[in-house]
Structure formats: structure tokens, C-alpha cells
Structure 1
């Protein structure tokens, strides 16, 4: 018996090069099961994967009909292709994916995640805020449902800044229609850089456990873990590895972690298991970048908009020294999240409410407070 194909999302009726307009999603059809035969010991157990997929489908149903998959054409400029031989440099385009939640005429909250995150990482935040906000969440190039860049050297910090800039263009962000911007980890660093350069387009900035400085040792440890091909040949392996990787993200139920892990991985027929949903070259490029210090104090000092910092109180990425210096340079609001490191999942209802209330405040006063953990969400 061949392994049952895992849950896959496909755009209905979408052709290569088609318009980037929104299209509804459907479950991709699975190939008919072959005649039942015992699975060889070196092949994945189809019944185990079938149960995993059934649970994943049930969790996905929690958000059925609440979001749509969209794309815009990201143009990779020749000027940012520093590592490509000069004769091979040329502008090229690829689809960049994003999820759209909430009313199209509501104020926009744009969310970007960490180096290995996918847009579905923000599903709980988006679902909680979608009645008041149009919450849009982007996959970085080389991650999730976005396309892959032509050369490994093209995956660098300024590429992500340019991708965010072009996405805000696609969203219509301007001085007349500024958006709120939320960034987790790497996404927060990119958001900080763009907000410093184009502050007129960003009304509010939410940084999820990231500041203008990041300890190089911490960054290097994380990069070494990410920059390898991991093949999960059983659901138990996913639970062990991704569960360990998420242990600093704060308390969360097993079904939330399974939901996030499912969207962060995909089935790989070539490897006979699930693999992370990203271009491995992007993470290898990040490992090289991790050799350098993160220093964005100039960006931090240039931000004119209100800033909310979600701080994991056990974070090893946002140090007490960085927090003190951030407060000394400019006013900001800090929400401390207990029992949480880098980075809060933003699946806790108190955390999502904190962000929603701060965004809705017409003139937020810079304050510092703790956000108690909410009771667990009802299990699905």
C-alpha cells in the first residue's frame, strides 16, 4: 500500500503566470490507493500518515472559509544580485504568496514571520482580529507557497526588505493609506529597516521579540540547526523535532503545535517523508549571514511611529541590555509574556487581544506591562 498523500492546498483553476487575483483553495485530489500489501520496513507506514493527515484536516477545518491565498509578482532586481556573476545578472520575477483574512475595506495589519516561518504561523492572530482588521500574512521567497530565487546568494537581508516594500506596494500602502506592520524575529528586523526608510507608509509597528541587536552566538546556533535537510519519516519524528524547536515559543496545546508543524512541512515523495516547506539554500544563506552582528540602532532611532514590543520573558534573543537601550533611545510599549522565549506564537488569546487593543488605541501611551497566559483554546 502506498503512503496516503498528505493534505495539500492547491489553487483552483490557477495556471502558471495567471493573474495574481485571489483564488479559493480546495483540497488537492489524492491518487487512488494501490492494492493493500505490507509496507517494507524501510518505507513510511501509510496508516500512520493517514491518521496524521486526518487530524490535520480536522484542524484546518477550524479556519475553513476565513482566508484566501493570493500572490503578487516579486521582481528580484539586478542591483541586489551581488553574488551572481555580472554576465548572469538580470531582473527576474517569481510569485510571492500571502494570506488574506478579514474585510477588504478594513484597516490593514501586515504580518511577516521569522527565517523559517510560513504565513500560517499567524493563523490564530488573524482569526482573532479579522472582524476589525484585514490581516494579511506573507511567505518570504523560498518559504511556504512563494517561489524560489534563482541563486542562493540572492537570499539576503536587503532582498527581504525589497520583498516587503513591493508587497506594501501591492497592498496600496501609502502616506494616505498607511498600514500597521507586525514582524516576528527576522520579520521584525526587516520591518524595522523598511519602517525607518519609508515611515510615511507605516502607521504602527509591532515587533515580536526582536530588537535592534541580536546576540551573534544565539543567531549562529539557530542557523546551524536550520541549514540542514530534515526528513520526517513518521509523525512522531515531527512531534519530537518541531516540538523541541518550538519549546521556547510559549505554552501551547498539542493540536496547535501539530497544526503549525503541518503547515511548516510538506510531503516529499523523493525522500519518503515530510520536509520543511522552504528552499534549503535560503537557510544556508542565513547561516553565512549569521556570522555577522545585527546592528540596527540607527533604524531604531529613526522610527517615528508608535511601537509595541512583545517580549518573551525567557528570550535569549532580546536581552535585558537591549531592552534598556531601546527604552532610552525612544518611547515604546512593552508587553512581557511569561513562560515564553523567542518567539511568542501569538496563538494565546491574551496576546492577540493585547495586539488588537493596542492597534485600536488612537493614541497609545508608552507603557510596560505583563500579559498573563490565557486559558487554552478549546481543543478541536
Structure 2
């Protein structure tokens, strides 16, 4: 993966891995916010004319490049689209930080799907990306046909929220790219026992070089604003809304939990299976929040679910 001062190439994250011969295309779509327009960046894999589309959406401070290996492995069947949510990756920052919330994210994804010119999509959402998918899948006439929720549900454990608040939006600078990669790996240590090269692959796109030569995270520190504004009352109301949306989802749902996750409890996962209409679940041993889906076994779980085979025992 090549890196210049302010851009990251769209080369595959691990082009030497089996099945990773696909080459992504870097694209953009224009979206609207109350103060104007902003661009959402996305990488697109596979046949651009393929009507079978898989949308992969990342976590809070991550980028669509987290899914490079998933996308390469599934691009034989799907046109795989991996957006950078507003304020992250190569996407524009929003002029009003209070808009970093589900209504804007869902609206942006509806615009993206319209750009793709398809009636339905399958959805792979990690953490925040799962919440966006859940919010969209619970709406009437949703375009989502199948939904994989990677280590997230309607209830987010308070200990995880406090962990996130402790680092998100904090101004940090790194003397070298390697220092930034290592810091991002420390924050995401619960992803699992990744190799040095895997950390480099998924963390390099998160960083950019400043004019003074230092490195910093690409994401807008303003994404922390909604966290600072939340109250116990607003959190409870948000959870209740998410449960209502989740219970309205009619399509097949696969909930994947890292067995050591501090964000999605086993109790919440069990409630999701009980309260959802068509839900199966699985736990991945030795992983916390959230499984990285870089190794073959994890990718095989996703492939079996999306291609219609039995994915897991609930």
C-alpha cells in the first residue's frame, strides 16, 4: 500500500492473500446536509454492472478500507461497496459536528445506494456501521436484503461508551507513520491477534501527513461532539428506538459477537435472537470489540451467511 502526504492509494490492502486479485475503484458521491453539500468517498470492488451489491460500513473512527480483504474475497459474487462515513477517511467533514448522528448517516447511505442504481443491497456493518444498517433495515421499504451486525446491537454497554469517550476526538500527533499505525493498533487491540502487516494494512488509511511533517488521524475530531452531548435520558431513548427498529427488521440478520466484547454483551445478543424476526448469532473466541474479519475463518462466516448457507447456530 503506497502513502503520499495526503492520500492513500486504492490498492488492495493485502494483494498477496489468496483470492485478493480484485482491484478496487475509488469513487465519490455527493450528499446533502442542512448547511450544504458534502462528498462521501467509497471503494468499489468487482463488476460495476453486477446488480448484486454488498455494502460494508466501518466503525466509529475507522474507514472503509477495513473491508479490503472481505471485499476482495467476495467480489467474485458481489459488487462490493465500502464507504467512508462522513468525517472519516477520504470523505468530507460536516460543517456542523452535531450532525454526526444516525439521521445524517442513514440519509447519506440512501443517497449512495441510489447512486449504485440497485433496488436491494446486502449489508455488513461493524459497530457504528451496524447501527447505521440496523436503522435503515428497520424502516419501511428498506433496500436491505440481508444484514450482518458485527459486534453491535440496540444496547451498547456503558463501559464501552466510557472507553470510547476516553480517546475519540483527542488531538494526537505522531512523528512517523509507523508511530501512528502502532497507536491505532493499541486502540483497536481487541480486534484480535493481527499480524504487523495486517495492522499496517488497515491502519495506514486512517492517517495523513500534516504540512509540518507530523502524522495525524484523518477523522474529524468533531465526531466526539454527539458523545459529549449525550445524557442518560437521551441514551435510554436512543436504545428504545433501536430496539423498535431492530424488531421491525424482516430480513435475515446475523449477529456476530467477539467473545470478549465490552460493547455487545452476550445477554444483549441473546435478546436480539429472541426479539428479532429472523436472527441467528455466533461468537468468535479470543476476540473483543470487534472481530476484524481479516482471517479466512471469519470471512467464511460472512460468505456462508450472505450466500444463503447456514451461517451459525443461535
Match of 1:142 in 2: 87
2:170 alignment partner, SS class: coil
Map residues 101-116 of structure 1 onto 2, 5 A cutoff: 101-106=45-50, 107-116=52-61
Asked if 1:332 is matched to 2:252, the reply is: no
| Cα distance, 1:111–1:239 mapped onto 2, change above 3 Å | closer
Query: 1:216 deviation in Å?
Result: 2.6
Map 1:157-176 onto structure 2 (within 5 A): 157-174=102-119
Number of the residue aligned with 2:226? 285
In the alignment, which of 43, 64, 67 is matched to residue 99 of structure 1?
43
Q: How much does 1:217 deviate?
A: 3.2
Matched, 1:356 2:303: yes
Decide whether the 8 Å contact of 1:223 with 1:290 is kept in 2.
no
Distance in 2, matches of 1:239 and 1:72, equals 28
Query: Which entry has the higher C-alpha Rg, 1 or 2?
Result: 1
Displacement of 1:179 in angstroms is 0.8
| TM score, norm. by length of structure 1 | 0.74
**Structure 1 segments unaligned to the other structure (5+ residues):** 11-24, 27-56, 79-89, 370-380
1:300 aligned to 246, 259, 267, which one?
246
Give me the whole-angstrom Cα distance separating, in 2, the residues matched to 1:264 and 1:67: 17
Task: Check if 1:117 corresponds to 2:74.
Answer: no
Contact kept? 1:314, 1:341, Cα under 8 Å: yes
Which deviates further from its counterpart, 191-200 or 295-304? 191-200
Q: Aligned residues, how many?
A: 302
Specify the SS of the correspondent of 1:197. coil
Is the deviation greater in 196-205 or in 135-144? Answer: 196-205
Over 3 Å counting, the alpha-carbon distance change for 1:366 and 1:99 in structure 2 is closer
TM-score normalised by the chain length of structure 2 = 0.88
Does the CA contact (< 8 Å) of 2:12 and 2:22 recur in 1? no
The offset of 1:198, in angstroms, is: 3.9
2:128 is matched with which residue? 186
Are the aligned partners of 1:110 and 1:137 in contact in 2 as well (CA < 8 Å)?
Answer: yes
Q: Deviations over 1:121-141 (max 9, x none)?
A: 101101111111111000111
- Consecutive unaligned residues in structure 2, runs of 5 or more: none
2:294 pairs with 347, 363, 375, which one? 347
Q: Aligned equivalents of 2:83 and 2:63: distance in 1? A: 8
Residue 184 (structure 2) pairs with residue 242 (structure 1): yes
